[in-house]
Structure 1
Amino acid sequence: MTDTGPIAAAHTPLPSRASVRQLVAASIGNAVEWYDWYAYSFLAVYFAGQVFPKGAGNSLVPLLSTFAVFAVGFFMRPVGGLLMGAVADRRGRRAALTVTILLMGGGSLLVALTPTYAATGLLAPVVLVIARLVQGLSVGGEFAASTTFLVESAGPGRRGLFSSFQYVSTTIGQLVASGISALLAHLLSDGQMSGWGWRVPFLFGAVISLVGFWIRRGAVETRSEEQRTAPRPGLFEALRRHPRASLLICGITAGGTIAYYTWTTYLPTYATVNAGFDKGDALTVGTISLAFFAVLQPLAGALSDRIGRKPLLLGFAVGFAVLAVPLLHRITSAFVSLLLVQCAGMVLLTGYTAVAAAVNAEVFPARVRAAGIGFPYSLTVALFGGTAPYVGTWFKQAGHPGWFPWYVSALCLVSACVYLVLPETARRPLDR
């Protein structure tokens, strides 16, 4: 796993053309990673009944069980963030990125091959849980390594722009997952989708993971020579030496992750369960709004390089704290209602997603940057982002669907308080 590829010169940003190549390598690999991860949430409504038995008279039990596994995968993310972050800090960003994409492809293949409960009983949910644990390990490491890689590859005054491609590529992967899911939903009957159609996107994800691995093998390592020759940091060094920075990452992420997973992942299911929205149409709305979201990212990232990160972060957090409840209550069974609500939320959400990678990377020194970001970020995402679909569905089952929008609003208000005291880092030189 030792990196033997080309190394960026110490303290010297990569040339412009090389930076673009780095951007492409990181983005393509990241898109593949997140395609595999998000296919699960888009297809949950189809395979839930195949893997989990229904409770007595309650049709929501399989869906709840499937989203519980979704959350379990998230709780492997802190482990992945810590371990793969340590690999990135010790062996190189590129080494970590090649490992994470192989793990994701293997997990996706395992989901595709998951047997049904009717055929194998408890083995079916066990296989699904193992697959999501592997994918959770991969995704936890992916954000830490790719965030560090992207920001370190950026030239002066372009860290916000480059960091925005973390979510451009994430959204492209999610968009492809949503698009393929929507296409299959329209081409196949519900019975075919539940029977075998849901497996196709996971098989595709396993294949394209190999393509992403090949692309990442050719990337340029961004660790400086000084970092390569320095003593390797301990596994928990970032937490021990930088506790305030670790807490800042948690506060920065809490509101962003609940809003992100609600608006980009759970909203189609929320509309289906709470407003009787057609499942196929909900996936179509999600695909359209994700394309709109991807276009916004580099525009906002470049803007943050000019005006700073804090104005965008505060706009996001205050906007969601005030508007999350009325927006979610506006969803009806009409196609246009979900489309408008999802796109409006995407505009607000961009204030967080376009700059999150840059802000996180600017908080930690280079020596422990990947592991320093990986663990607190992934832990916060696991606690609030990964549980969003489960919490929303649980509120519905408990007879209080109106509580979930208030939950989203409250977490965004907490992050708004953190953004107020956060130092502006846009114009500070990046520690290398």
Structure 2
Amino acid sequence: MSTSLTSPAGAAAHRAAPASRSANARSIAAITLGNGLEFFDFTVYTFFATLIGRLFFPVDTAFGQLMLSLATFGVGFAMRPLGGIVIGAYADRAGRKPAMMLTLWLMALGSAMFVITPSYAQIGLAAPVLIVLGRLIQGFAIGGELGASTSLLLEYADDHSRGYYGSWQLFSQALSVLLGSLCGLALTYLLPTDALESWGWRMPFVLGMLVVPIGMYIRRHLHETADSTHAEEGLGSVAAVFGPFRRVLVAGVLLVIGGTAANYIILNYMTNYAATQLGLPLKQAMWAGLAAAAVSMLLAPYAGILSDRIGRKRAILLTRIPMLVLIYPAFMLLNASPNLATLLLVVAGLSLLLIFNSVPSVVILPELFPRRVRATGMSLVYCFGVLIFGGFAQFFATGLIRLTGDPNAPALYVIGCGLVSLLGWAMVRETADRPLE
């Protein structure tokens, strides 16, 4: 892992000594792998949303089952702001490392509930209740993980390489989608339908429970970067974000809306869209997530390097506008030629624009806050932004198709959110190549 990390570092012209660079590469690997394992637990749900809807939700129609399953996916995001407040404040008070260890245990607990919960046919209404509870626990954990891990990444960097370091947050999320896609593909190809529906779909969540021992091991030697002089402030960091930094909070949330809507449509929704709207077999539809994740993983570090060179705001604008222009024609192409080759072409092209937009959008958020409130501020900005417009993106997109009769309606959702996010882009200041504080 370390070898692949050091190659883009050279391109980023890091100014650290070789020994320090090697240590930082190991730190990036530890944060990235732990974060990716946690997001794996959270995102693998979406690849089996259709199947989970059929097993756990007592609705007669396939459309109703899918909508309830996607709504359950979105419910997990409702807990993110609370997780951001509680765990973010804990990270600013007690340190980034203890907060990230806590999120590991919580994520494993949520995954365990997916592993052991019987279907609706076996225990009735208790089944969907337990599934929803598992999603709420996972959402709470992710709400705190993202702020702590992203802050730690940026605090390891210097003023000229924060984009590169922060890009590994997006790399880790793409890694989780890639692993989820590979698990989904393996299970759908290797298992007969009855085995997949009875126990096979639970296997990725069993793997997800491994986040605790693996995550604890790889994160044990991370260097703490939290500001201990403000350790006594506790939840004062929350008050500061809603007080002196409330304008930054609003601007950040607006900025996040556009990126998160595109992210969850392109990176997560396309598998279900290909299966339910385009009529492709699930075995083929699973390749959409794999293609999106592969492109994102390969290009994330270089997107960070670009934002270090030309600035966060310019990098965001140069990619967000083309995405808004091209996404509707891309969906039209998909529906005009609904086959695997077209699906992979469209997903790969949109993912390229998405990753070069997402990296500077995520990196700029913690840069807007001082160290003493950074984890809390980053957590709240991101969690509020994804709560509605990301978590329920798949639900809204599916509902828009039914409401309008337009199979390209998911593109309209991304365009609307993207236009709103330009207000946030105008409100934030440029942060690249400037002191973090």
Please indicate, yes or no, whether the TM-score normalized by the shorter chain is above 0.5.
Answer: yes
Residues 108 and 203 in structure 1, CA contact (< 8 A), matched pair in contact too: yes
The match for 2:212 among 209, 212, 217 is 209
SS in structure 1 opposite 2:238?
Answer: coil
Aligned to 1:290: 293
1:387 aligns with 2:392: yes
Aligned to 2:366: 361
Residues 172 and 294 in structure 1, CA contact (< 8 A), matched pair in contact too: yes
- Alpha-carbon offset, residue 251 of structure 1: 1.4
Aligned to 2:407: 401
Residues 266 and 292 in structure 2, CA contact (< 8 A), matched pair in contact too: no
Aligned to 1:20: 25
Q: 1:381 to 1:177 in 2, by over 3 A?
A: same
Distance in 2 between the 1:47 and 1:188 partners? 17
What amino acid is aligned across from residue 40 of structure 1 in structure 2? Answer: Y
Aligned to 2:10: none
Distance in 1 between the 2:379 and 2:288 partners? 32
1:46 aligns with 2:51: yes
- Alpha-carbon offset, residue 370 of structure 1: 0.9
Distance in 1 between the 2:325 and 2:400 partners? 21
Q: 1:75 to 1:230 in 2, by over 3 A?
A: closer
- Alpha-carbon offset, residue 232 of structure 1: 6.7
1:134 aligns with 2:146: no
Pick which of 410-419 and 147-156 moved more: 410-419
SS in structure 2 opposite 1:155?
Answer: coil
Aligned to 1:418: 424
What amino acid is aligned across from residue 20 of structure 1 in structure 2? Answer: A
* Unmatched 5+ stretches in structure 1: 1-12
1:429 aligns with 2:429: no
The match for 1:100 among 99, 103, 113 is 103
- Alpha-carbon offset, residue 328 of structure 1: 1.6
SS in structure 1 opposite 2:62?
Answer: coil
- Alpha-carbon offset, residue 38 of structure 1: 0.8
Distance in 2 between the 1:122 and 1:148 partners? 40
Residues 107 and 131 in structure 1, CA contact (< 8 A), matched pair in contact too: yes
Aligned to 2:357: 352
Give CA deviations for 1:350-378 in whole Å, capped at 9, x if unaligned: 12222233201111111111111211320
- Alpha-carbon offset, residue 196 of structure 1: 1.2
What amino acid is aligned across from residue 375 of structure 1 in structure 2? Answer: L
SS in structure 2 opposite 1:401?
Answer: coil
Distance in 1 between the 2:331 and 2:373 partners? 39
Aligned to 1:199: 202
The match for 1:86 among 66, 82, 89 is 89
Aligned to 1:70: 73
Aligned Cα root-mean-square deviation (Å): 1.8
Residues 105 and 210 in structure 1, CA contact (< 8 A), matched pair in contact too: no
Q: 1:307 to 1:235 in 2, by over 3 A?
A: closer
- Alpha-carbon offset, residue 225 of structure 1: 4.4
Q: 1:103 to 1:397 in 2, by over 3 A?
A: same
The match for 1:235 among 220, 238, 246 is 238
Give CA deviations for 1:313-361 in whole Å, capped at 9, x if unaligned: 0022212221121112211421111101101111111122222332011
Residues 93 and 232 in structure 2, CA contact (< 8 A), matched pair in contact too: no
- Alpha-carbon offset, residue 227 of structure 1: 4.0
Aligned to 2:162: 159
1:123 aligns with 2:129: no
What amino acid is aligned across from residue 277 of structure 1 in structure 2? Answer: L
Distance in 1 between the 2:40 and 2:238 partners? 29
Distance in 2 between the 1:231 and 1:409 partners? 39
- Alpha-carbon offset, residue 415 of structure 1: 1.7
Distance in 2 between the 1:349 and 1:402 partners? 18
What amino acid is aligned across from residue 163 of structure 1 in structure 2? Answer: G
Distance in 2 between the 1:221 and 1:427 partners? 23
Distance in 2 between the 1:208 and 1:93 partners? 17
Residues 102 and 209 in structure 1, CA contact (< 8 A), matched pair in contact too: yes
- Alpha-carbon offset, residue 307 of structure 1: 1.2
Q: 1:231 to 1:253 in 2, by over 3 A?
A: closer
Give CA deviations for 1:22-64 in whole Å, capped at 9, x if unaligned: 2111101001101111110011122221111232xx2211111
Per the normalisation by structure 2, the TM-score is: 0.91
Distance in 2 between the 1:185 and 1:230 partners? 50
- Alpha-carbon offset, residue 230 of structure 1: 6.9
The match for 1:317 among 317, 320, 331 is 320
- Alpha-carbon offset, residue 393 of structure 1: 1.8
Residues 314 and 420 in structure 1, CA contact (< 8 A), matched pair in contact too: no
- Alpha-carbon offset, residue 421 of structure 1: 4.4
Aligned to 2:148: 145
Give CA deviations for 1:355-409 in whole Å, capped at 9, x if unaligned: 2332011111111111112113201101100001111222233344333311211
Give CA deviations for 1:111-160 in whole Å, capped at 9, x if unaligned: 11121000100010011011000000011111111111110111331100
Distance in 1 between the 2:25 and 2:315 partners? 25
- Alpha-carbon offset, residue 304 of structure 1: 1.1
- Percentage of identical aligned residues: 35
SS in structure 1 opposite 2:59?
Answer: coil
Distance in 1 between the 2:386 and 2:422 partners? 17
Residues 78 and 374 in structure 1, CA contact (< 8 A), matched pair in contact too: yes
Distance in 2 between the 1:123 and 1:217 partners? 38
Per the normalisation by structure 1, the TM-score is: 0.92
Residues 46 and 193 in structure 1, CA contact (< 8 A), matched pair in contact too: no
What amino acid is aligned across from residue 325 of structure 2 in structure 1? Answer: V
Give CA deviations for 1:155-186 in whole Å, capped at 9, x if unaligned: 33110000000011111111101111111111
Aligned to 2:4: none
Distance in 2 between the 1:198 and 1:387 partners? 22
